[in-house]
Protein backbone atom coordinates (compact mmCIF):
# COMPACT_ATOMS: atom_id res chain seq x y z
CA UNK A 1 0.00 0.00 0.00
CA UNK A 2 1.01 3.63 -0.54
CA UNK A 3 -0.65 6.91 0.40
CA UNK A 4 -1.33 10.12 -1.52
CA UNK A 5 -0.44 12.83 0.97
CA UNK A 6 -1.30 15.76 -1.31
CA UNK A 7 -2.11 16.65 -4.91
CA UNK A 8 -1.97 20.13 -6.38
CA UNK A 9 -2.79 21.39 -9.86
CA UNK A 10 -1.38 24.65 -11.23
CA UNK A 11 -2.18 26.66 -14.36
CA UNK A 12 -0.44 29.38 -16.39
CA UNK A 13 -1.77 32.88 -15.89
CA UNK A 14 -3.08 33.44 -19.43
CA UNK A 15 -6.78 32.49 -19.31
CA UNK A 16 -9.12 32.78 -22.29
CA UNK A 17 -12.74 32.07 -23.09
CA UNK A 18 -13.24 29.40 -25.73
CA UNK A 19 -14.79 31.83 -28.25
CA UNK A 20 -11.77 34.12 -27.97
CA UNK A 21 -9.43 31.22 -28.64
CA UNK A 22 -11.48 30.17 -31.66
CA UNK A 23 -11.12 33.62 -33.20
CA UNK A 24 -7.43 33.87 -32.35
CA UNK A 25 -6.62 30.46 -33.76
CA UNK A 26 -8.47 31.14 -36.99
CA UNK A 27 -6.46 34.32 -37.47
CA UNK A 28 -3.18 32.63 -36.61
CA UNK A 29 -3.69 29.74 -39.00
CA UNK A 30 -5.31 31.90 -41.68
CA UNK A 31 -8.34 29.67 -42.12
CA UNK A 32 -10.54 30.14 -45.15
CA UNK A 33 -14.20 31.02 -44.40
CA UNK A 34 -15.40 27.47 -45.08
CA UNK A 35 -12.94 26.09 -42.53
CA UNK A 36 -13.81 28.78 -39.99
CA UNK A 37 -17.40 27.56 -39.83
CA UNK A 38 -16.18 24.04 -39.11
CA UNK A 39 -13.73 25.29 -36.48
CA UNK A 40 -16.44 27.23 -34.66
CA UNK A 41 -18.72 24.19 -34.57
CA UNK A 42 -15.95 21.88 -33.36
CA UNK A 43 -14.97 24.29 -30.60
CA UNK A 44 -18.58 24.72 -29.47
CA UNK A 45 -18.93 20.94 -29.19
CA UNK A 46 -15.74 20.46 -27.14
CA UNK A 47 -17.40 21.03 -23.76
CA UNK A 48 -14.74 23.63 -22.93
CA UNK A 49 -15.58 27.12 -21.66
CA UNK A 50 -12.12 28.43 -20.73
CA UNK A 51 -8.50 27.39 -21.11
CA UNK A 52 -5.14 28.54 -19.78
CA UNK A 53 -2.22 29.02 -22.19
CA UNK A 54 1.51 29.04 -21.64
CA UNK A 55 1.81 32.38 -23.48
CA UNK A 56 -0.36 35.38 -24.30
CA UNK A 57 -2.43 34.56 -27.37
CA UNK A 58 -0.73 37.23 -29.47
CA UNK A 59 2.69 35.60 -28.93
CA UNK A 60 1.84 32.32 -30.68
CA UNK A 61 2.61 33.54 -34.21
CA UNK A 62 6.28 33.79 -33.28
CA UNK A 63 6.28 30.96 -30.74
CA UNK A 64 5.04 28.33 -33.22
CA UNK A 65 7.07 29.52 -36.20
CA UNK A 66 9.34 26.47 -35.92
CA UNK A 67 9.74 23.41 -33.72
CA UNK A 68 13.01 24.61 -32.18
CA UNK A 69 11.47 27.84 -30.94
CA UNK A 70 8.35 26.19 -29.52
CA UNK A 71 10.41 23.49 -27.81
CA UNK A 72 12.75 26.04 -26.21
CA UNK A 73 9.69 27.76 -24.79
CA UNK A 74 8.36 24.41 -23.59
CA UNK A 75 11.52 23.75 -21.60
CA UNK A 76 11.52 27.22 -20.02
CA UNK A 77 7.83 27.41 -19.12
CA UNK A 78 7.39 23.74 -18.19
CA UNK A 79 10.29 23.96 -15.75
CA UNK A 80 8.80 27.07 -14.12
CA UNK A 81 5.31 25.59 -13.92
CA UNK A 82 6.61 22.24 -12.70
CA UNK A 83 8.65 23.84 -9.93
CA UNK A 84 5.56 25.72 -8.79
CA UNK A 85 3.44 22.55 -8.74
CA UNK A 86 6.02 20.60 -6.75
CA UNK A 87 6.48 23.40 -4.23
CA UNK A 88 2.73 23.65 -3.64
CA UNK A 89 2.27 19.90 -3.29
CA UNK A 90 5.20 19.59 -0.86
CA UNK A 91 3.89 22.50 1.22
CA UNK A 92 0.42 20.95 1.35
CA UNK A 93 1.91 17.66 2.55
CA UNK A 94 4.22 19.34 5.06
CA UNK A 95 7.25 17.73 3.40
CA UNK A 96 10.65 19.29 2.72
CA UNK A 97 12.16 18.94 -0.74
CA UNK A 98 15.25 17.24 0.69
CA UNK A 99 13.03 14.48 2.12
CA UNK A 100 11.95 13.35 -1.37
CA UNK A 101 13.51 10.05 -2.45
CA UNK A 102 12.00 9.67 -5.93
CA UNK A 103 10.85 12.21 -8.51
CA UNK A 104 8.94 10.92 -11.54
CA UNK A 105 8.00 13.32 -14.34
CA UNK A 106 5.64 12.72 -17.23
CA UNK A 107 5.07 14.87 -20.31
CA UNK A 108 4.21 14.48 -23.99
CA UNK A 109 4.19 18.06 -25.32
CA UNK A 110 7.92 18.78 -25.52
CA UNK A 111 11.40 17.29 -25.41
CA UNK A 112 14.01 18.11 -22.78
CA UNK A 113 17.48 16.61 -22.36
CA UNK A 114 18.46 16.98 -19.54
CA UNK A 115 14.91 16.06 -18.54
CA UNK A 116 12.53 18.26 -16.58
CA UNK A 117 13.30 16.48 -13.31
CA UNK A 118 17.02 17.21 -13.74
CA UNK A 119 16.26 20.88 -14.43
CA UNK A 120 14.19 21.05 -11.26
CA UNK A 121 17.28 20.07 -9.26
CA UNK A 122 18.57 23.62 -9.84
CA UNK A 123 15.28 25.18 -8.70
CA UNK A 124 14.42 23.15 -5.61
CA UNK A 125 16.56 21.99 -2.67
CA UNK A 126 16.31 18.35 -3.71
CA UNK A 127 19.00 15.86 -2.67
CA UNK A 128 21.83 15.04 -5.04
CA UNK A 129 21.09 11.32 -4.64
CA UNK A 130 17.44 11.77 -5.66
CA UNK A 131 16.16 8.95 -7.87
CA UNK A 132 14.79 10.49 -11.09
CA UNK A 133 12.43 8.75 -13.52
CA UNK A 134 11.50 10.84 -16.59
CA UNK A 135 8.63 9.34 -18.59
CA UNK A 136 7.85 10.54 -22.12
CA UNK A 137 5.18 9.18 -24.46
CA UNK A 138 2.28 8.16 -22.26
CA UNK A 139 0.14 11.17 -23.16
CA UNK A 140 -3.27 11.41 -21.51
CA UNK A 141 -2.76 8.20 -19.53
CA UNK A 142 0.44 9.53 -17.93
CA UNK A 143 -1.08 10.91 -14.73
CA UNK A 144 -2.84 7.65 -13.85
CA UNK A 145 0.09 5.50 -14.94
CA UNK A 146 2.45 7.71 -12.95
CA UNK A 147 0.44 7.18 -9.76
CA UNK A 148 0.49 3.43 -10.43
CA UNK A 149 4.24 3.23 -11.09
CA UNK A 150 5.12 5.34 -8.04
CA UNK A 151 2.81 3.14 -5.96
CA UNK A 152 4.73 0.08 -7.13
CA UNK A 153 8.08 1.65 -6.24
CA UNK A 154 6.82 2.58 -2.79
CA UNK A 155 5.68 -1.00 -2.18
CA UNK A 156 9.37 -1.89 -2.05
CA UNK A 157 10.33 1.29 -0.17
CA UNK A 158 7.79 1.62 2.67
CA UNK A 159 9.76 4.47 4.27
CA UNK A 160 10.04 6.33 0.98
CA UNK A 161 8.64 9.69 -0.12
CA UNK A 162 7.98 10.25 -3.83
CA UNK A 163 6.69 13.04 -6.05
CA UNK A 164 4.93 12.60 -9.37
CA UNK A 165 4.93 15.66 -11.65
CA UNK A 166 2.90 15.95 -14.85
CA UNK A 167 3.49 19.00 -17.07
CA UNK A 168 1.80 19.62 -20.41
CA UNK A 169 1.90 22.71 -22.66
CA UNK A 170 -0.41 21.52 -25.40
CA UNK A 171 -0.73 24.97 -27.00
CA UNK A 172 2.92 24.92 -28.07
CA UNK A 173 2.23 21.94 -30.34
CA UNK A 174 -0.11 23.98 -32.57
CA UNK A 175 0.27 23.04 -36.24
CA UNK A 176 -0.50 26.14 -38.27
CA UNK A 177 -0.78 24.42 -41.65
CA UNK A 178 -3.01 21.55 -40.57
CA UNK A 179 -6.76 21.79 -41.20
CA UNK A 180 -7.42 18.10 -40.53
CA UNK A 181 -10.34 17.15 -38.31
CA UNK A 182 -7.93 15.81 -35.68
CA UNK A 183 -6.04 19.11 -35.48
CA UNK A 184 -9.24 21.17 -35.36
CA UNK A 185 -10.62 18.99 -32.55
CA UNK A 186 -7.34 19.21 -30.62
CA UNK A 187 -7.24 22.99 -31.03
CA UNK A 188 -10.56 23.26 -29.19
CA UNK A 189 -9.96 20.65 -26.49
CA UNK A 190 -6.46 20.86 -25.04
CA UNK A 191 -5.10 23.39 -22.55
CA UNK A 192 -1.91 23.93 -20.57
CA UNK A 193 -1.15 23.07 -16.97
CA UNK A 194 0.72 20.91 -14.48
CA UNK A 195 0.03 18.87 -11.37
CA UNK A 196 2.14 17.29 -8.65
CA UNK A 197 1.34 14.45 -6.25
CA UNK A 198 3.21 13.63 -3.05
CA UNK A 199 3.06 9.91 -2.24
CA UNK A 200 4.50 7.87 0.62
CA UNK A 201 5.15 4.28 1.50
CA UNK A 202 2.99 2.84 4.24
CA UNK A 203 5.53 3.26 7.05
CA UNK A 204 6.30 6.84 6.04
CA UNK A 205 2.59 7.57 5.83
CA UNK A 206 2.00 6.30 9.37
CA UNK A 207 4.40 8.98 10.58
CA UNK A 208 3.70 11.83 8.16
CA UNK A 209 0.28 11.47 6.48
CA UNK A 210 -2.01 9.13 8.40
CA UNK A 211 -5.11 10.66 6.76
CA UNK A 212 -3.99 10.43 3.14
CA UNK A 213 -5.77 8.69 0.28
CA UNK A 214 -4.64 5.08 0.06
CA UNK A 215 -3.52 3.62 -3.25
CA UNK A 216 -4.47 -0.05 -3.09
CA UNK A 217 -3.73 -1.50 -6.54
CA UNK A 218 -3.47 -0.76 -10.25
CA UNK A 219 -3.94 -2.46 -13.60
CA UNK A 220 -2.64 -1.66 -17.09
CA UNK A 221 -4.22 -2.72 -20.36
CA UNK A 222 -2.94 -2.21 -23.91
CA UNK A 223 -5.34 -2.90 -26.78
CA UNK A 224 -3.52 -4.60 -29.67
CA UNK A 225 -3.70 -3.03 -33.12
CA UNK A 226 -4.71 0.43 -31.88
CA UNK A 227 -1.40 2.27 -32.26
CA UNK A 228 -2.95 4.83 -34.64
CA UNK A 229 -5.89 5.65 -32.39
CA UNK A 230 -4.03 8.41 -30.56
CA UNK A 231 -0.56 9.96 -30.49
CA UNK A 232 1.84 12.22 -32.36
CA UNK A 233 3.42 12.16 -35.79
CA UNK A 234 6.79 13.89 -35.40
CA UNK A 235 7.95 15.99 -38.34
CA UNK A 236 9.88 19.08 -39.30
CA UNK A 237 7.17 21.37 -37.90
CA UNK A 238 6.91 19.52 -34.59
CA UNK A 239 4.25 17.30 -33.05
CA UNK A 240 1.23 16.65 -35.24
CA UNK A 241 -1.80 15.16 -33.47
CA UNK A 242 -3.13 11.69 -34.26
CA UNK A 243 -6.67 11.36 -32.90
CA UNK A 244 -8.80 8.58 -34.30
CA UNK A 245 -12.59 8.60 -34.43
CA UNK A 246 -12.58 5.09 -32.95
CA UNK A 247 -11.55 6.23 -29.44
CA UNK A 248 -15.11 6.56 -28.00
CA UNK A 249 -16.02 3.14 -29.39
CA UNK A 250 -12.93 1.60 -27.78
CA UNK A 251 -13.98 3.10 -24.46
CA UNK A 252 -17.58 1.96 -24.90
CA UNK A 253 -16.69 -1.64 -25.80
CA UNK A 254 -13.61 -2.32 -23.68
CA UNK A 255 -13.60 -0.36 -20.44
CA UNK A 256 -16.47 -2.10 -18.61
CA UNK A 257 -14.93 -5.55 -18.86
CA UNK A 258 -11.48 -4.31 -17.88
CA UNK A 259 -12.77 -2.38 -14.86
CA UNK A 260 -14.91 -5.33 -13.75
CA UNK A 261 -12.00 -7.76 -13.97
CA UNK A 262 -9.80 -5.34 -12.03
CA UNK A 263 -12.34 -4.83 -9.25
CA UNK A 264 -13.21 -8.52 -9.01
CA UNK A 265 -9.56 -9.31 -8.31
CA UNK A 266 -9.88 -7.22 -5.14
CA UNK A 267 -13.29 -8.47 -4.03
CA UNK A 268 -15.26 -5.48 -5.35
CA UNK A 269 -17.74 -4.61 -8.06
CA UNK A 270 -18.81 -1.31 -9.65
CA UNK A 271 -21.71 -0.86 -7.22
CA UNK A 272 -19.20 -0.61 -4.38
CA UNK A 273 -17.21 2.20 -6.00
CA UNK A 274 -18.18 5.43 -4.27
CA UNK A 275 -16.24 7.88 -6.45
CA UNK A 276 -14.77 7.97 -9.94
CA UNK A 277 -11.78 10.09 -10.97
CA UNK A 278 -11.71 10.06 -14.77
CA UNK A 279 -9.57 11.79 -17.35
CA UNK A 280 -11.56 14.46 -19.29
CA UNK A 281 -10.97 13.09 -22.77
CA UNK A 282 -13.80 15.11 -24.33
CA UNK A 283 -17.61 14.91 -24.43
CA UNK A 284 -17.84 11.84 -26.67
CA UNK A 285 -15.29 9.98 -24.57
CA UNK A 286 -17.02 10.90 -21.29
CA UNK A 287 -20.42 9.88 -22.64
CA UNK A 288 -18.92 6.56 -23.73
CA UNK A 289 -17.25 6.11 -20.35
CA UNK A 290 -20.49 6.70 -18.42
CA UNK A 291 -22.21 4.18 -20.70
CA UNK A 292 -19.43 1.64 -20.21
CA UNK A 293 -19.41 2.01 -16.43
CA UNK A 294 -23.23 2.17 -16.30
CA UNK A 295 -23.14 5.24 -14.08
CA UNK A 296 -25.14 8.49 -14.27
CA UNK A 297 -23.46 11.51 -15.83
CA UNK A 298 -23.05 13.17 -12.41
CA UNK A 299 -20.81 10.29 -11.29
CA UNK A 300 -18.31 11.94 -13.63
CA UNK A 301 -19.47 15.44 -12.70
CA UNK A 302 -16.11 16.62 -11.36
CA UNK A 303 -14.48 15.52 -14.61
CA UNK A 304 -17.09 17.33 -16.73
CA UNK A 305 -16.57 20.51 -14.72
CA UNK A 306 -12.81 20.28 -15.07
CA UNK A 307 -13.19 19.93 -18.83
CA UNK A 308 -15.35 23.05 -18.96
CA UNK A 309 -13.11 25.07 -16.67
CA UNK A 310 -9.63 24.28 -18.07
CA UNK A 311 -9.96 21.82 -20.97
CA UNK A 312 -7.99 18.61 -21.38
CA UNK A 313 -4.43 18.92 -19.99
CA UNK A 314 -3.25 15.53 -21.24
CA UNK A 315 -1.32 13.70 -18.46
CA UNK A 316 -1.96 16.43 -15.88
CA UNK A 317 -5.75 16.41 -16.27
CA UNK A 318 -6.69 13.36 -14.21
CA UNK A 319 -4.54 14.70 -11.37
CA UNK A 320 -6.42 18.01 -11.52
CA UNK A 321 -9.65 16.01 -11.33
CA UNK A 322 -8.31 14.13 -8.30
CA UNK A 323 -7.41 17.41 -6.59
CA UNK A 324 -10.85 18.86 -7.43
CA UNK A 325 -12.58 15.75 -6.10
CA UNK A 326 -10.77 15.80 -2.76
CA UNK A 327 -11.40 19.54 -2.36
CA UNK A 328 -14.91 20.02 -3.79
CA UNK A 329 -16.58 16.61 -3.51
CA UNK A 330 -14.80 14.78 -0.68
CA UNK A 331 -15.62 11.07 -0.83
CA UNK A 332 -17.25 9.28 2.06
CA UNK A 333 -14.65 8.16 4.62
CA UNK A 334 -13.30 4.73 3.85
CA UNK A 335 -15.06 4.46 0.49
CA UNK A 336 -13.49 2.87 -2.57
CA UNK A 337 -12.62 5.05 -5.55
CA UNK A 338 -11.27 4.36 -9.02
CA UNK A 339 -8.93 6.66 -10.92
CA UNK A 340 -8.70 5.89 -14.63
CA UNK A 341 -7.36 7.34 -17.85
CA UNK A 342 -6.82 6.29 -21.44
CA UNK A 343 -3.98 7.24 -23.75
CA UNK A 344 -1.76 6.41 -26.73
CA UNK A 345 -1.26 2.74 -27.31
CA UNK A 346 -4.34 2.64 -27.12
CA UNK A 347 -4.31 1.84 -23.42
CA UNK A 348 -6.16 2.05 -20.13
CA UNK A 349 -4.77 2.51 -16.63
CA UNK A 350 -6.96 1.93 -13.58
CA UNK A 351 -5.98 2.67 -9.98
CA UNK A 352 -7.93 1.53 -6.91
CA UNK A 353 -8.10 4.16 -4.15
CA UNK A 354 -9.54 4.31 -0.64
CA UNK A 355 -10.71 7.54 0.96
CA UNK A 356 -9.19 8.38 4.34
CA UNK A 357 -11.09 7.57 7.53
CA UNK A 358 -13.88 5.08 8.09
CA UNK A 359 -13.62 1.54 9.43
CA UNK A 360 -10.58 -0.49 8.42
Could you read off the pLDDT of 29-81 as tens digits, one per residue? 777 777 788 888 989 999 999 999 999 999 998 888 889 999 999 999 999 99
Is-contact 173 70, C-beta < 8 A? Answer: yes
Domain ranges of the chain: 2-208, 213-354
Between these two residues, 179 and 46, which has the higher pLDDT value? 46
Could you read off the pLDDT of 259-283 as tens digits, one per residue? 999 999 999 999 999 999 999 999 9
* Res. 358: pLDDT tops 80: no
What pLDDT, on the 0 to 100 scale, is given for residue 121?
93
Q: Identify the band that residue 359 occupies on the pLDDT scale cut at 50, 70 and 90.
A: low
For the whole model, what pTM was predicted? 0.96
3-state secondary structure at position 331 = coil
- 213-354 has the same fold as 2-208: yes
Could you read off the pLDDT of 328-356 as tens digits, one per residue? 999 999 999 999 999 998 999 999 999 99
Mean residue pLDDT of the chain comes to 93
Q: Identify the band that residue 360 occupies on the pLDDT scale cut at 50, 70 and 90.
A: low
Decide: residue 359, CB within 10 A, 0-12 exposed, 13-18 middle, 19+ buried. Answer: exposed
**β-pair type (131-136, 102-107):** parallel
Third-level CATH fold of 213-354:
Peroxisomal Thiolase; Chain A, domain 1 (3.40.47)
Cα–Cα distance, 113 to 38 (Å, whole number):
38
Q: Identify the band that residue 174 occupies on the pLDDT scale cut at 50, 70 and 90.
A: confident
Third-level CATH fold of 2-208:
Peroxisomal Thiolase; Chain A, domain 1 (3.40.47)
Stretch (H or E) spanning 217? strand 213-222
The residues annotated with a catalytic role in the active site are: 140
Could you read off the pLDDT of 180-211 as tens digits, one per residue? 778 888 888 999 999 999 999 999 999 987 88
Neighbours of 44 (CB within 10 A): 13
By mean pLDDT, which of 123-137, 154-168, 238-252 is the weakest? 238-252
The DSSP code sequence of 89-158 is HHHHHT--GGG--EEEEEESS---SS-HHHHHTTTS---TT-EEEEEES-GGGHHHHHHHHHHHHHHT-T
Amino acid sequence: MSVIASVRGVLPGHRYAQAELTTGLAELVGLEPEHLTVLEQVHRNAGVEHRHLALPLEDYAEATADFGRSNDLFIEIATDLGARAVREALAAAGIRARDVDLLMTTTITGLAVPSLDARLMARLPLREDLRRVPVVGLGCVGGAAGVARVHEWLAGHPDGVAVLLAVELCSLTLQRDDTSTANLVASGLFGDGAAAVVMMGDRAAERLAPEGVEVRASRSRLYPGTERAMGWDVGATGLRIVLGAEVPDLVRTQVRGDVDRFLTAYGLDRSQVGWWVAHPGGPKVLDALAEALQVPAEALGVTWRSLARIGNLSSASVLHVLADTLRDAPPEPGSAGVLLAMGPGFCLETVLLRAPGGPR
